[in-house]
Each structure stands twice: as structure tokens, then as C-alpha cells.
Amino acid sequence: MKEDSVLKKLSRDWRVVLMVALVIFSVIAIGPHFDENGQFATNLQYGLDLQEGSWLQMEFQAEVVTVQTGQPLQEIAANLSEQLDAEVLPVGPDQIEVRMPMTEAELRPLFEQAGAEVVAVNQGVSKETAESVKRVLDEKVNSLGTKDARVNVLTGLNGITRYVRVELAGVDMETANEIVGKQGKFEIRVETTGDQTQHVLFGDSITSVSTPEKDPHYGKWGVSFTIDEAGAKAFQEAAISSNAVNDPQNHELIMYLDNETVYSAPLTVELANSLKANPVRSLTATTGTGDEGLEKAMNLEIHLRAGSLPVDVKVVGSGSVSAALGDYFKILSFLAAVLALIVVGVVIYYRYREPSIVLPMVMTTLAEILILLGIARFIQQLDLASIAGIIAVMGTGIDQLVVITDEVLHEGRVPSPSVYLKRLGRALGIIMVAASTTIIAMLPLALMDLSTLRGFAIITILGVFVGVLITRPAYGKIIMAILSK
């Protein structure tokens, strides 16, 4: 009867009910099952350490030049772009990005001729260009259906990004190189009559693509791009033959990437009138206003580049993990976690010599791990660093449960309910302070894109939140119900 009264008491406590509900949800999210080959599988996402996959680390072949000059940077960049036959863009109040590999000795005389004094030359690209590269690579791996892919850029304290790293779990090295180096088929067509369209040009006619810009007069976002002379002539001829120059509203310009429509809009009246007389090499595709217009413009920039990167990259590092080695690491990680839980249980039993205390501690820790894995299923890949984070969370969690148990069992006696709640509140306060310091310590690692310990930091922070908000208060109520028996 006493056992029944304890269970009834716990079933009425919302903290315990919440923990049990989250454990059930986590088990469903993890989804343990046997696949078609009869092998045990889950819905958890694994990193390169725990399954077959490859990684590539690439170096940007570009330079960011810090200058000192009284002339407009846009003018200097335009002159250098023409002289070097490469994209040269101002990327800051005193910085110019040269999108080709050059030494400082080669750049200094060129900038001096342009009327600018070189202050510093750093290999890499601006943060904005790096984010553009990241978007292109993200779009590329997502469009190919590649799962568990990571694209990270490493930006230094000076704001210049030199490296980008692509991790593709479940992909061999040959396929990884093909994905990163593959360029999509981009085509522009114009409507003629009905649903018929006429070819205008392919992506190889596009010579440059600008970053999204907002029209200062109308507030609309758009992407400007230029085409070569042959493409401009073909564009003019197609616009005239399709009658788009006279009736632009009924003859839209349609852009395709790998035969899928990525943009469609009629010619502007100004552009239509210009095309009647001369070819036009500079064009702007307008995408709309607000955040939606900006997002469309950013995606269109990627499509106009046909999946190619705005800056050349060079592979400076690569590696792969075989399927057999990944499975071996999975088994070792699982055994390490189970062994840690067993050792913790033995140590706790040696301390208290009371199964009614040890069992709730171990079960609460197990519940915490399940909830943590259920959350990680949606936001974090599991690699060796993440597994280490789970084991660390297990250890700190047991420490905090010991703090709660020792506090409420002060002098080895079970206190009255009112005194118990005061002691429990005091123990939870101590735990909150310890948890906040852990979170602050882990934040720098969690925010570092290329840090191999990023997974460790994220799992640790998640574990702290799960413990403080869910499992510690629930354990306090569970142990109170058991001890009062």
C-alpha cells in the first residue's frame, strides 16, 4: 500500500509528469528500430566520427587589402578589376577584396598606381563573401539531397575568412569532391506564344554577379549581373523576335537551374525600350521588398552563379572515415556511456548503501540522457566530442543529485516537509549558480564554427538546461516521496 501511495503522490506532481512525458517523447523521436537489413538503427544524426563520410577543408584564393587613400574605393576597385581582369570589390570603409591569388609584392605597385597606399594584405575574403560561399555550398548540398552536411567558415578576429570546411556524413571522398566542384546548368529563356519559350543564353554568358542590393527609390531588392557581348546580342535578338520589347508584360523572362524555374518576371519598360536600339550587358533582376525580397535575392544570386562559388578555392585538407571504423566508434561510445553509468551507480551505492536512493539517482540520470538525445536528434549531430559531452553531463548531473540528497538528508535524518522544501530550494539554488558558470564557460566553444569541441559545448549546455529545468526538480520530489515512506 505504501508503494501505491508513493506512486500516486508522484503521479500528481507536475515536475515528475513532465519528466516522464519528455522521456516518452524522446524515445519516440530517437525511434529505435530494426532496418530492412535486420540491423538496429535510430533517427539520431551521426557526425563523421561515427559513420562513413568525408570532409574537405578549402582555402580561399583571394586577398583582402587594407588601404589608405583619399579617392573613392569604388573607383579604385573598378580600375583594378579592368586591369587584372578579375572581380575587385570594396568590402569596407578601407578594404578592397581582390578575388584572385596574388602576393603583397604584386599588389603594392598596382595600388600605388591607382593612388592608394597599401596598409596590410591578408589572404582570404570578407565576412560577407564568406557567408555568400556558405549559402552557395548549403544550397548545393541540399539540392542534391545530401543528408547530415555541415558547411562552416572560419573568420579571424580581423574579420577576414581564410578557410571553409565541408563535412558530408555518409558520402565518400570522390562524391564529396564532385558535390563541391559541381556546377549546375543555368539557362535563361523568354516566353513567345502561349506556354512556349525560346532559348536566350546559358550560364557561361554571365560574366559577373553582384550581391543583393536595395533600390534606394523604390525599396525593392534585386541582383545585378552582367553578360558578355555574345550573350547581350542573343538577349536582344530573342527579346525582339518574341515581341517582348513591345509587349513585355506577356513575355516573361524565365531563369532555370537544372531545368527547374528559379525566377520569372517581365522586362521593365525601360529595358524593353533600350533593347529595341542596342544590346544591353548590365541587367538587374528585382525580387521584391522586405525580408522576403531579400531572401529571394540571396537565393537568386546563388542561382545566377549556377552553383559556382564567387571566389576560387583550393583544397588544403581532406579526410574520410570508413563505414567499418564508424560502426566501431559507435560501439565503443555506447560501451563507454554504459560503463560510466554502471560505475556511477556503484560509487553512489557505496556512499549511501541504500537502494531506494541509488535507483532514483540512476534512473533520473538515464532519463536526462534520453531527453538530451531526443533534443539533439533535431539540432545536433553526434560525434565523439558530443558523446564526451553526454558523459560529462552524466558526471555533473550525478554530482548535483548528490548535492540535493546530502542537503535534504542533513544529519542523516529525514526532515519535515516544510524543512525539506527549504533545503531542496537551497540545493537547487546552488545548482543554478554552478549551471550558469558552466554555460558561460561553454558559450565560446559553442560559437566557434570550426572548433572540433563545438558539439561537446552544445551538448553540455543542453544537458545543463535539461537538468536544471526538468530532472533536478523532479528528482527532488521523487526522493522526498521515497524518503517520507
| pLDDT tens-place string over residues 6-22 | 677 777 888 889 999 99
Least confident of 30-44, 50-64, 72-86, 145-159: 145-159
Look at the alpha carbons of 368, 371, 374, 379 in this order and tell me if their dihedral is positive or negative.
negative
Q: How many CB atoms lie within 10 A of CB 246?
A: 13
Q: Return the domain boundaries, the chain.
A: 2-50+322-484, 53-182+313-319, 186-304
Q: How many CB atoms lie within 10 A of CB 194?
A: 6
Confidence of residue 485 (pLDDT cuts 50, 70, 90): low
| Whole-model pTM over 0.85 | no
Q: Rounded to whole angstroms, what are the CA distances from 67 to 87, 98, 120, 451?
A: 17, 12, 7, 32
Backbone angles phi, psi at 287, to 5 degrees: -115, -10
pLDDT of residue 306: 65
Backbone angles phi, psi at 102, to 5 degrees: -145, 155
User: What are 20-29's pLDDT values in tens digits?
Assistant: 999 999 999 9
* pLDDT, averaged across the chain: 82
Residue 57 near residue 162 (C-beta atoms within 8 A): no
Look at the alpha carbons of 451, 456, 457, 459 in this order and tell me if their dihedral is positive or negative.
positive
**Which residues 6+ apart lie within 8 Å of 221 measured at CB?**
212, 213, 214, 215, 286, 287, 288, 289, 293, 294, 296, 297
Give the CATH architecture of domain 186-304: 2-Layer Sandwich (3.30)
Segment 199-228 mean pLDDT: 81
Q: Which three cell numbers stand for residue 364?
A: 533520473
Q: How many CB atoms lie within 10 A of CB 446?
A: 18
CA within 13 Å, CB half, 471 = 28
Segment 289-306 mean pLDDT: 80
Q: How many CB atoms lie within 10 A of CB 250?
A: 12
Residue 414 or residue 470, greater confidence: 470
Write the CATH number of the domain with boundaries 2-50+322-484: 1.20.1640.10
pLDDT of residue 173: 75
pLDDT of residue 370: 92
Q: Is the pLDDT of residue 424 over 60?
A: yes
What percentage of the chain exceeds 70 in pLDDT? 92
Residue 480 near residue 416 (C-beta atoms within 8 A): no
Confidence of residue 205 (pLDDT cuts 50, 70, 90): confident
User: What are 99-140's pLDDT values in tens digits?
Assistant: 888 888 999 999 888 888 889 999 999 988 888 888 878 777
pLDDT of residue 167: 81
Beta bridge partners of 89: 97
Tell how far CA 404 is from the center of its chain.
38
User: What are 60-74's pLDDT values in tens digits?
Assistant: 889 999 998 888 888
